[in-house]
């Protein structure tokens, strides 16, 4: 496929523009890019109908982690209304070069749960992104609450996070883990504040579910394309 064909726009959804190359990524065993994750996170059907939940795009999460100006960061974050959210999910990328828009080679997920005042990092490849998740945590922790108590939020590495079985499914693990955490939050069952969603993630984020997610996202895009 030539470059122009790969760059061809196939779908505009919310603020996300998907291209032909994104279909190729989803059709084969390839690493998900920012656009695909942002598309999935922007879907009302990705298990976050509640206004209490916010799933941030990769570009916004990356900027929060790497913004050199704390004052500018405050203005940037105000429209997101983080203090109003009970659950906030951040995709984490290991890109160290702010000049490269889609750099990096690994995705993980950082979730903030207000009831427990804790940030939890889920990494499907050991603790490969721990340094990057910590950077994001330190950048945003002062903005998630309206009182000084937010600064006391804890950071936790979830060592029981299901591990990927290949070198390219990390982004899919992020999408499936995000969906699982959102479903846990939305469920009417009594939530265990000590266990949080860890048992649900361990049970539901499996290689087969992750593999199906690739097909599911591809199907969602094709359905939306057909409705254009």
Contact in structure between 123 and 160 (CB atoms under 8 Å): no
Q: Which of 11-25, 44-58, 85-99, 195-209 has the weakest average pLDDT?
A: 44-58
Whether the predicted model's global pTM rises above the 0.75 cut: yes
pLDDT(21) > 80? yes
Q: Does the structure show a pLDDT above 90 at 141?
A: yes
Instruction: Give me the mean pLDDT over the 18-27 stretch.
Output: 94
* pLDDT tens, position by position, 51-102: 889 999 999 999 999 988 877 898 899 999 999 999 999 999 998 876 666 6
123 is catalytic: yes
* Residue 47 confidence (pLDDT): 47
> Cα 24 vs. chain centroid, distance in angstroms?
21
From 123, 132, 158, 182, the catalytic residue = 123
Of 22, 34, 48, 106, which one is the catalytic site residue? 106
The answer to whether 96 is a known catalytic residue is: no
- pLDDT at site 3: 58
Q: What is the mean pLDDT of residues 29-51?
A: 83
Token duo for residue 141: 């922790």
117-134 pLDDT, tens per residue? 999 999 999 999 999 999
Q: Which residues contact 217 (CB under 8 A, 6 or more apart)?
A: 26, 36, 39, 40, 175
Domain residue spans of the chain = 47-213
Task: Based on the residue annotation, tell me whether 106 is a catalytic residue of this protein.
Answer: yes
CATH T-level assignment (fold) for domain 47-213: Adenoviral Proteinase; Chain (3.40.395)
């Amino acid at each position: 496929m030539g470059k122009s064909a790969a760059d061809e726009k196939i779908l505009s959804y919310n603020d996300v523009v998907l291209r032909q190359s994104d279909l190729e990524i989803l059709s084969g065993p390839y690493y998900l890019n920012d656009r695909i994750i942002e598309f999935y996170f922007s879907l009302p059907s990705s298990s976050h109908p509640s206004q209490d939940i916010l799933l941030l795009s990769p570009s916004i999460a990356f900027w929060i982690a790497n913004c050199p100006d704390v004052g500018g960061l405050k203005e940037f974050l105000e429209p997101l209304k983080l203090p109003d959210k009970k659950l906030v999910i951040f995709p984490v990328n290991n890109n160290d070069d702010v000049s490269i828009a889609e750099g990096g080679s690994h995705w993980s997920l950082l979730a903030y749960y207000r009831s427990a005042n804790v940030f939890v990092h889920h990494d499907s490849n050991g603790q490969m992104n721990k340094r990057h998740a910590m950077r994001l945590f330190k950048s945003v922790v002062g903005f998630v609450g309206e009182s000084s108590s937010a600064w006391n939020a804890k950071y936790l590495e979830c060592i029981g996070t299901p591990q990927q079985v290949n070198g390219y499914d990390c982004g899919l693990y992020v999408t499936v883990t995000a969906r699982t955490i959102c479903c846990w939050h939305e469920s009417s069952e009594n939530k265990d504040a000590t266990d949080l969603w860890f048992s649900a993630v361990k049970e539901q984020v499996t290689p087969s579910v992750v593999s199906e997610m690739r097909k599911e996202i591809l199907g969602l895009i094709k359905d939306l394309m057909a409705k254009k």
